[in-house]
Amino acid sequence: MPSLEIISVRLFDGNDEMKVRRLFDLNVRRRTESETGPIRAVLYKNASVMNDWSIHLVQPIGRVKQARSSTAARMVEDFKQVGLVDYTVWVGLTTGT
């Protein structure tokens, strides 16, 4: 089953879009394969609230983790510099259909 880590950030300053993009790019480049295995990282911006951003880190099937990955842990700490941060882990389930 895949897992999904979601890091939600509400920026202190709505004009910090470039900081968000730089922090995201830095953390994605900094991650190594041996650290957490294959991972897909996607950055989202809220369509109606300019201060709200979301980072989704997807671990493929067979790499489910109940705890925060080291990549997510670094991102959470880094993004606290620019806003309020919330973190959750989701585990994919099969429906049997």
Q: What is the pLDDT of residues 33-52, one digit of tens each?
A: 445 456 789 999 999 999 99
Burial degree of 76 (CB within 10 A; 0-12, 13-18, 19+): middle
Distance in angstroms (rounded) separating the CA atoms of residues 6 and 8: 6
Tokens of residue 27, six digits: 């953390």
Write the pLDDT tens digit of every residue in 82-94.
Answer: 999 999 998 888 7
**Is it the case that residue 80 has pLDDT exceeding 80?**
yes
Report pLDDT for 53.
98
- Output the pTM of the full model: 0.84
C-beta separation of 34 from 42 below 8 A: no
Flag whether pLDDT at 79 surpasses 70: yes
One-letter amino acid identity for 5? E
Confidence class for position 63, pLDDT limits 50, 70, 90: low
